[in-house]
Amino acid sequence: MSYNQKIKEIVRLVRESKKTLALTGAGISTESGIPDYRSPGTGLWEKHDPAKTASLSALRKDPARFYSVNLNRWIAFNHAKPNAAHYALTQLEKMGLLTGVITQNIDSLHVRSGAARVWEVHGHLRTCHCMECRESYSFDYLVQNFKSGDNPPRCAKCKGVLRPDVVLFEDRMNEDFYQATQVISGCQLMLVAGSSLTVYPVAGLPGVAKQIVIINRTPTPYDEEAAVVVHENTGQAFQDIMAEMSKGF
């Protein structure tokens, strides 16, 4: 099947599906300037062992080092802007063709693109909380403390260490993940965009869907089971999908 035939087939599947969900990973945000985790030469995990730098035990053992290694990268996430793929999924939702987005990303780009239903299964960088008293703060408050020389950033009430509301290595999955496992029931079509489908338990979610479409630059473990596989940048693929979609309206 040629690339154009694949795009036409994806559009047909989306139009015919009565319940479609998107599952997105780091690859959907690379065109917004956010590096992914596993790409050879540029992947974030090639530079830092996440088990040592982005884990719950790393935060507890040496919170100052945890923030020194991770915070500037997270601040950069918050300056990124949604790209064509994020906006395309939001448009599909507004057209009534997408139930919502399940995302592994913590960059909030789906939310910023105007998506109404987003399950952020690894959390987000909009808020943080105290590890001692659980008091909640904006993520900006944490950043301001760090930039003022308070490393690690601390709670204004009890002086406990603050932590972002993201799922770190060794953390339990959050409430959004458990909601996603419920909403996926009856999913006829899952659009996987920019995910290598290797990080569990999220990588197991496509197995629930009746059909899968995968748009990812590199192969995934689900490619052989997918109805359509497109090895292309997500931004380009979704621009082409939306262009083809517009022909029928």
Query: Does this model's pTM top 0.95?
Result: no
Q: What is the pLDDT of residues 171-196, one digit of tens each?
A: 999 999 999 999 999 999 999 999 99
pLDDT over threshold 70, residue 249: no
C-alpha–C-alpha distance, residues 181 and 128, integer Å: 24
C-alpha–C-alpha distance, residues 219 and 222, integer Å: 8
Assigned token pair, 27? 């690859």
User: Using 50, 70 and 90 to split pLDDT, how confident is the model at 36?
Assistant: confident
C-alpha–C-alpha distance, residues 77 and 32, integer Å: 9
pLDDT over threshold 80, residue 232: yes
Range 1-33+80-122+173-249 has CATH code 3.40.50.300: no
Q: What is the pLDDT of residues 72-110, one digit of tens each?
A: 999 999 899 999 999 999 999 999 999 999 999 999 999
* HSE-up of residue 83 (Cα within 13 Å, Cβ side): 21
- In this prediction, residue 44 carries a pLDDT of 55
pLDDT, mean of residues 156-160: 97
Q: Which residue has the higher pLDDT, 31 or 41?
A: 31
User: Using 50, 70 and 90 to split pLDDT, how confident is the model at 57?
Assistant: very high
- How many Å is the Cα radius of gyration of the chain? 19
Q: Which residues are catalytic?
A: 122
pLDDT over threshold 70, residue 48: no
| Residue-averaged pLDDT of the chain | 93
Kindly list the domain boundaries of the chain, sorted by start residue. Answer: 1-33+80-122+173-249, 35-79+124-166
User: Using 50, 70 and 90 to split pLDDT, how confident is the model at 47?
Assistant: low
- In this prediction, residue 117 carries a pLDDT of 98
User: Using 50, 70 and 90 to split pLDDT, how confident is the model at 248?
Assistant: low
Show binding-site residues for Zn(2+): 130, 133, 155, 158
- In terms of DSSP H, where are the helices of 78-162? 84-94, 109-112, 139-147
pLDDT over threshold 70, residue 40: no
Pick one of 1.20.910.10, 1.20.120.160, 2.40.128.20, 3.30.1600.10 as the CATH number of 35-79+124-166: 3.30.1600.10
